Amino acid sequence: MAIHFAPLDWALALWVIAFLIACPFTKVEESFNLQASHDILMYGRQLAQYDHFAFPGVVPRTFLGPLALSGLAFPWIHLLAWLDVLHSKLALQYIIRAALGLTVVLSNAQFRAQVAQSFGRPVATAYGVVSLCQFHVVFWSSRMLGNVLAYPLVLCAWAQWLKTTRLPLGDTYTLQILRMISILAITTCIFRFDVVAFAIPILGSELWRQPKLLWSLVVPVAITATVAVMITLAVDSYFWQTPWMWPEAYVFWFNVIRNQSAQWGTLPWHAYWTSFLPRLLLGALPLIPLGIYANPGLRRYVVPALVGIALFSGLGHKEWRFILPALPWLNLSAAAGLITLAHRRIKLNFQRLYRWGYRGACAGLFLSWLLSLGMLYVSRHNYPGGHALAQLHTLTPAQPRTYVHLDTLTAMTGASRFGQLHAHWTYDKNETATPATIAQRADYVITARPKDYPASFGQTVAAVSGYRGVRRVAIADWVSAWRQLTVAQAVSAPLEVLASLVPVRLDVVPQLWIIRSHAAPSLADPDHPRS
């Protein structure tokens, strides 16, 4: 398959990397894939050292995603090490996340290339612009969620499906449908079982067009799914040290059969339509109906995507990432709507309305882009655990036999194994130990509850702030911020300047404290053992 990578794809790649650099830390929902990638790179076959045995999570997840990412990152890690530019283990976290982000961008480029073939280059260009303006597309492309690891395969499946737009019904058409369904079957069996919510309506719509298609699909797709299950059984049974380990079967049993996902909160049936989609699509949302109306060929793709969202709406527990596979089709519809306005394709005698509609659409996308920068600025303050662990390493030299306790909030907000820089330190994440027990052995504690530790234990050496909310700014203060803006400030700290020009302020408060034990090793006595 030829690789199509146009300037807009390079722009998306650079934007994804920029967001990664601005916000390098991760949260608890990304923990398994990130820690597994670390352990594969650092420990290899030493399974006893792996994090998932101590912190297995609610349901098991597959190691195939972390294995693939580690394989992609491995040559680059060794090249950078050979060039002597890899000076911190935390840099490996950047590389792993960059590998994922660029894989998503590459898959998106293949999808966009098929958009150009099926709906024209202007629509493909507009699709690229719409994607660049959306926070979730850019920010989450390098995030270690299972849904994001599955997303490149989903985009490849959608690219195969788009090829059928230009094909008559027949053997070649059937082959493309078979490829798409096979990729979705692999994705469902290995990475995300919930992709089936989109595969079912797609298969139904294709069978409606060509009923005989079913007999051409059953055997090949069944074989593909069986092979996928055998692969995940072999790999995950080894890494989990559990016979017949099929992670997605556990997830299906837990979330669908037992309906235990409701423990993490439920939302009303309309939440995807009234809350999640507006936040995902931003300024692209109003363009979608126009794109579907002006391009009837899009309905074949958009309707199954909307049916998939409707199926998810029936579940109580809702998250935006569940409907990620629908996003390319909605963005494609928005892109078609934008080009409709630009080219005035609908023959109405409202030229002025068209002109203002196009200007309004462009303004909406530009505001979406600005809003994505604002959301990035907020997100930078959402990972106090990662910042606290990094700050700890700047406060103290790499002393031997140093014991650090990380509390639950620290571990959940960015303190990954990649951030544990010193191999000879002990980083403890015990969630059940009492402060009294921790105080007996810890040299440093990062905690959200510093008052649980008496003054006799140690002293607070740093406080790390995190995002709590937003507050309104007085008009006079807002106007003053505009007047005091300088070009030098805009160049040196663009995100901070942008945030200062918005009539709201982040409510950033101390959330974690670093406490140093009085008995911790000192510079004068680095080999002093902990009593």
Sequence-distant (6+) residues with CB within 8 A of 188 are 195, 196, 199, 225, 248
Residue found by looking up tokens 């002025």 in the block:
352
454: number of Cβ within 10 Å: 10
Q: In what order do the strands lie in the sheet with 504-517?
A: 426-428, 403-406, 444-447, 504-517, 458-472
Task: State pLDDT tens for residues 8-38.
Answer: 999 999 999 999 999 999 999 999 999 999 9
Whether the Cβ atoms of residue 377 and residue 19 lie closer than 8 Å to each other: no
Position of tokens 């293949």? 110
Nearest of 329, 344, 235 to residue 280 by alpha carbon: 329
Tell me what percent of the residues of the chain surpass a pLDDT of 70: 92
Indicate if the pLDDT at residue 79 is higher than 80.
yes
Asked if 31 and 11 touch (Cβ cutoff 8 Å), the reply is no
Q: Show Cβ contacts of residue 392 under 8 Å, excluding neighbours closer than 6 positions.
A: 404, 444, 446, 462, 514
Backbone angles phi, psi at 134, to 5 degrees: -105, 130
Strands (E), 146-196: none
443 φ, ψ (degrees, to nearest 5) = -90, -35
The SS3 of residue 46 is coil
- pLDDT tens digits, residue range 399-454? 778 999 999 999 999 999 999 999 889 999 998 899 999 999 999 999 999 999 98
Question: Cα dist. 393→386, 404, 418, 422 in Å?
Answer: 11, 11, 13, 9
Whether pLDDT at 486 is above 90: no
Please tell me the distance from the alpha carbon of residue 119 to that of residue 227, in angstroms, as a whole number. Answer: 35
Question: What gap in Å lies between CA 504 and CA 501, rounded to an integer?
Answer: 8
DSSP 444: E
Q: Show the CA angle centred on residue 19, arms to residues 17 and 22, nearest 5°.
A: 110
- What's the pLDDT score for residue 490? 65
Q: How far is residue 226's CA from residue 443's CA, in Å, rounded to a whole number?
A: 51
Element at 427 (helix H, strand E): strand 426-428
Res. 134: pLDDT tops 50:
yes
Q: If you compute the radius of gyration of the chain from its CA atoms, what whole number of angstroms results?
A: 25
DSSP lists the bridge partners of residue 504 as: 472
The total number of residues shown for the chain amounts to 531
> Where is pLDDT greater, at 498 or 326?
326
- pLDDT tens-digit series, residues 235-263: 999 999 999 999 999 999 988 888 788 88
Q: Give the tens place of pLDDT for each residue, 327-351.
A: 999 999 999 999 999 887 555 556 6
Q: Is 486 left (phi over 0), alpha (psi -120 to 50) or beta?
A: beta
Q: What is the dihedral of CA 153, 155, 159, 160, to 10 degrees?
A: 30
Mean pLDDT, rounded, for 131-159: 97
The token pair at 494 is: 């663009």
Q: What average pLDDT does this structure show over 94-99? A: 97
pLDDT one-digit tens code per residue, 181-221: 999 999 999 999 999 999 999 999 999 988 888 889 999 99
Q: Which amino acid is at 419?
A: G
Which tokens is 244 given? 């017949």
* Distinct helix (H) and strand (E) counts, the chain: 23, 5
First to last CA, the chain: 62
Both structure tokens of 437: 């027990």
Q: Which residue(s) pair with 512 in the sheet? A: 464
Hey, how many other C-beta atoms are within 10 angstroms of the C-beta on 273? Answer: 13
Beta strand segments in 223-296, E: none
pTM to 2 decimal places: 0.91
CA dist., res. 303 & res. 281, Å (int): 17
Strand residue runs (E) in 182-331: none
Q: How far apart are CA 375 and CA 369, in angstroms?
A: 10
Helical (H) or strand (E) element with 164? none
Contact (CB, 8 A) for 421 and 90: yes
Instruction: Give me the helix-helix angle, 299-313 and 196-209, nearest 10°.
Output: 140
Over 50-117, what HEC string results?
Answer: CHHHCCCCCCCCCCHHHHHHHHHHHHHHHHHHHCCCCCCCHHHHHHHHHHHHHHHHHHHHHHHHHHHH
The 3-state DSSP class for residue 252 equals: helix
Q: pLDDT class for 526, splitting at 50, 70, 90?
A: very low
Burial of 200 (0-12, 13-18, 19+ CB in 10 A): middle
Q: What's the whole-number mean pLDDT along residues 218-235?
A: 97
Q: How far apart are CA 176 and CA 164, in angstroms?
A: 7
Q: What angle do CA 195, 413, 465 make, to 5 degrees?
A: 140
The yes-or-no verdict on residue 307 having pLDDT over 80 is yes
